[in-house]
Amino acid sequence: MYYQSDYKFQPRLDYNKNLSNLRRGGRKLNKKHLEPDVIIKHESDEEEVSNEIFECFISFTQNTSMHGVKFIGQSELHWTERIIWSILVIFAIISIIYISLQLSVKFASSPLSTVVESVIHPVSEIPYPSITICPHNRLHAQRAIEAENKFLPNASKETLEIFRFLILNLNNIEFGSFDEFYDEILEFPSNDELRNLNLREVYKFAMLTCDEIFVGKCWWRNKYYECCNDFFEQQTSEYGICFGFNGAVEGIGIAKNENESFHYPLRTSNYGEWSGLRIEISTRTDLSLKEEINGIKVIVVHPNQWPNTGNFIPSGSTTSITIRPTFFYTTDDVRNLEPDDRQCLNDDESKSAMTLPGLTYLQLNCLSECRQQYLHKYCNCSISLFFPIGSYRDCNFDDLKCLNKYNDIFNYEKPPSINPYFNDAIDGMVCGCLPECHRVDYSIEITSNILSVNDNMTLDLHYQSANIVKYRTDITFGWLDLMVSFGGIAGLFMGCSILSGVELFYYSSLFLIILFRKIKNKVDKFLKANSKEFRARDLQFASKRKNKNKKKNSFENVQAINIKVISCVDTEKNKNKF
């Protein structure tokens, strides 16, 4: 059946003959009254748009360079062949998507690899390490006695006795040894005299001087120098106040490092004995407070690192300390990863990381600051004998009990993440300090020869070789690898290339344009229909209002006439009365 609304009529139709057969309301049109060659089906907008989309898809299949897709749109092929090719193309697309997702996961995980880049990197390209010397017995016996009169001139006998115990503890104090405080100190009730003591000032007054530690001159590279005037200076460390060489974390060392006209920290290009630093140290027992084994702690760290961990060397020996530096750096591709993924920090990222006040970020500087923060957390103070104070309150005599109580926590560093090998029930410090992405690590090998039982010892600190090992850390799967892998997979399954992507983008744009036009037509029709309806409603409302006004006016006119008639009748009645 064919309806009038489904056809367009051309001028060749015999209208006079056919119009009589048409009935109102879209009744059926007799097909024989129309010439067959002029019947044209009228398509709706939806059908027209759908045809355009279909034609766009067929054009894409016939013109694309992707393998197998052109067979889907070839009308010459049997429909079963086209279905088979469609299934194969869908399978290829699914395979490409699946493998691409696997590659993306591999890229997201980005495992790092560290390889040896060079074994001939010259030692002259890195700074010579900072050397810190800490005597095992650090306080002078005579000055310790003099300290009683200086800091507690009017103290009671009991207070002086506790002060002597305190001096003995300060003689060998180091971070994490707070459990060695004498019971007499912990049990003694505090008083104002002990509470007001500045432990750092007491320590500095009674400590051994530089001239009392070093004997003669110091050898550096190829020349003798005055140890105390030219090289060594007081250096705060986690062993108390010691003497440091080539450090850049405190006092004169910072000033030298920031002086652009002065090349500091120092460097050397030679290796072997007598090529670096050679010193002779006195460990006289007659100056010490305790008659026990004597010797020194040697700390070898980066010049920008706070001295924290040392090695004990007994007195009466000639010791050779061989330094083996190792240089690490990361590529720019690694920089694009998150710090937790690459497990290191770059220089520009370390500004917001935890470190000691005024110092550059290093992993061990971060660890020292973490220890200081835990001191403040549990005891509300820090110890200026070990760290730069910054904004923290300096611990006094009253805080020694607290330090002793939480000493186990200060000695136990827990990993930041859950680890089955660590007991979470035990309290400890959680620091989470990452290493630097560009760093130099100094490992040492100590060889000591006991020559005689005397109070002097000789140290020779030197590089093992003129060259060091340089390591490079890079990602195993980067952006370029990801692109090559995507291209290889797409080419393997469908012969795709970047130009194939351009084709897909072009035809997708056409599809979106057609779809947009379809939506726009629907919106226009909807707005047009609504506007007509609203206009009709307005006209209807205006007509009703007009009719209402007419009725109202007619009613008012009738009332006026009635009033006039009544008034006239009343007038006539009045006349008749008279």
pLDDT of residue 6 exceeding 50: no
ω into residue 265 within 30 of 0, thus cis? yes
* Cβ-contact 151, 166 below 8 angstroms: no
* Cβ-contact 99, 489 below 8 angstroms: yes
pLDDT of residue 212: 92
What are the CA-CA distances from residue 259 to residues 95, 254, 353 (Å)? 62, 9, 25
**CA–CA separation, 22 vs 1, rounded Å?**
14
| Residue 230 in tokens | 């030219």
Name the helix (H) or strand (E) containing 535: helix 498-577
Note the pTM of the prediction, 2 decimals. Answer: 0.71
**CA–CA separation, 240 vs 111, rounded Å?**
42
| Residue 371 in tokens | 């220890």
Region for residue 380 given its phi and psi (left: phi exceeds 0; alpha: psi -120 to 50; beta: otherwise): left
pLDDT of residue 296: 92
Task: Give SS3 for 101.
Answer: helix
Q: Which residue blocks in 380-423 are alpha helix, DSSP H?
A: 400-405, 407-410
Q: Which residues, in sequence order, are bridge partners of residue 457?
A: 281
- Residues 404-418: what's their mean pLDDT? 89
pLDDT of residue 54: 74
CA angle 90, 92, 97 (to 5 degrees): 95
Q: Which residues, in sequence order, are bridge partners of residue 443?
A: 324
pLDDT of residue 524: 75
3-state helix, strand, coil in the chain (%, to 5): 45, 20, 35
Work out the pLDDT band at 411, boundaries 50, 70, 90.
Answer: very high
Query: What are the tens digits of pLDDT across the range 144-200?
Result: 999 999 999 988 999 999 999 999 999 989 999 999 898 888 888 888 899 999 999
Domains of the chain from N-terminus onward: 1-42 (no CATH), 117-475 (2.60.470.10)
Query: What are the tens digits of pLDDT across the range 354-379?
Result: 888 888 899 999 999 999 999 999 99
pLDDT of residue 557: 55
**Helices 199-206 and 157-171: crossing angle, nearest 10°?**
70
pLDDT above 70 covers a percentage of the chain that reads 80
